[in-house]
Structure 1
Amino acid sequence: MAMLNFLNRWTGGLNHCGTVPLSTPRLILRRFSLDDTRPMFENWACDPDVTQYLTWRAHMTSRETRDVLEYWESQYRRADFYEWAIVPKDYGRPIGSIGMSRLSHSKTSMELGYCIGKAWWGQGICAEAAEAVLRLMFEEVGCTSVIAMHALPNTSSGRVMEKCGMHPKNCPPEPVKTENGLFYCRVYELDRTEYEQRLACRGRVGVPAGGWQTGG
């Protein structure tokens, strides 16, 4: 088992570490558990406004939410599985999720995805969570680049990506078929060099109090 875990960590040339806990000034990012069924369902998974541009439809019952959490729990044993609950420190319950997925065409790049409940939109929460995850991906996992995409009408998601230093790729919008319909999506990217340059600039002007911490 130890050898298997070691090999899994290095799958595809990346030093995978799995969904380790992360902390930011306002947030705890942690693994989901079945105890999160109710807050996940009530805070975002049941809301069609939240899922409108996602790949999955809003859940009709908490049983659907529990099924998702059961699957995620079964995947947490994999070192290359990344799915965090976004938990504000002053609230104590999940308000959204953020994760990374592997790309079929690249062994050293990954894709970022996130969503949060409507009650917490416009507070910079997704950007703060994404900064912590990007740091893990570039500094610990060893990604050469990270991409993200948003449906063209969902411009607020694009602003989150830009806050994290990502920029639109020079390519036509990509059609993506989802359970909610067909959307054309703009693709954003941040590579390791750009990340390091941004980190150096931030170091000169200061980082947020508390920084971005692994663990907690």
Structure 2
Amino acid sequence: MKNIGTQNIETQRLVLRKFTLNDADDMYRNWANDDEVTKFLTWPTHSDVEVSKKVLNIWVNEYENNANYQWCIELKENNEAIGSIGVVNLKESIETVEIGYCIGRKYWNKGITSEALTALIRFFFEEAEVKRVEARHDSNNPNSGKVMMKCGMKYEGKRIKADINNTGICDVSLYGLTIDDYNL
């Protein structure tokens, strides 16, 4: 595995890039202030834009570390930050990344998250040379699993009461893709 840090990635509709402090208003308005978006996440809904600014300040400072991978999902049509996607767990010893994502409700069911995840899977296998990409979701949030399957990840099972998020202790569904399956 090569730790090459967060790189700019373009897709048909998106620019995946590093966050800047200027993204605070978009972050707060488009996803971080929405209880429905954060329902199955591990961080609380932002109470005001100042919380978004504090989070972004931490993320921007972490870009100095090439083992940090956190992208802003920017929609090309309006240059607006509409979500985030990145590595929530890096397991260097087994060359594996676990990816997490969230996107504003206005952009749900448009294939945007799938487009972003597909781009990251390619990036991690082809550029960062990982051996495995994985993701998980609260079992009560099946749409997240649909994104993972659409991107070629395989369902690997469910762990009962094995995670916690804003709904409390929850079951978690696991998905993965290895470099061998990716190269088929």
Normalised by the length of structure 2, the TM-score is 0.95
Moved over 3 A (4+): 101-107, 170-174
8 Å CA contact 1:112–1:146 kept in 2: the answer is yes
User: Is residue 2:24 matched to residue 1:31?
Assistant: no
Match of 1:124 among 95, 111, 136: 111
Residue 110 of structure 1: how far off its partner (Å): 0.8
CA–CA separation in structure 2 for the residues paired with 1:130 and 1:104 = 18
CA–CA separation in structure 2 for the residues paired with 1:141 and 1:18 = 9
User: Is residue 2:125 matched to residue 1:138?
Assistant: yes
Query: Structure 1, residues 35-89: CA drift from partner, whole Å, max 9, x if none?
Result: 0000000000000000000011110011111110000011001101011010111
Q: Residues 119 and 59 from structure 1, CA distance in 2 versus in 1: closer, same or farther, beyond 3 angstroms? A: same
Between 181-190 and 168-177, the greater mean CA deviation after superposition = 168-177
Query: Structure 1, residues 90-124: CA drift from partner, whole Å, max 9, x if none?
Result: 02110000001334584311101111000000000
CA–CA separation in structure 1 for the residues paired with 2:3 and 2:127 = 8
User: Residue type matched to 1:178 in 2?
Assistant: N
How many pairs does the alignment contain?
Answer: 184
CA–CA separation in structure 1 for the residues paired with 2:87 and 2:101 = 9
Normalised by the length of structure 1, the TM-score is 0.81
8 Å CA contact 2:14–2:76 kept in 1: the answer is yes
2:40 matched to which residue of 1? Answer: 53
Residue 178 of structure 1: how far off its partner (Å): 2.8
2:149 matched to which residue of 1? Answer: 162
1:84 matched to which residue of 2? Answer: 71
User: Is residue 2:14 matched to residue 1:22?
Assistant: no
2:94 matched to which residue of 1? Answer: 107
Higher strand share: 2
Q: Rg bigger for which structure?
A: 1
Higher helix share: 1
Match of 2:59 among 55, 72, 78: 72
2:180 matched to which residue of 1? Answer: 193
Identify unmatched segments of 5+ residues in structure 1: 1-13, 198-216
Residue 128 of structure 1: how far off its partner (Å): 0.2
User: Residue type matched to 1:194 in 2?
Assistant: D
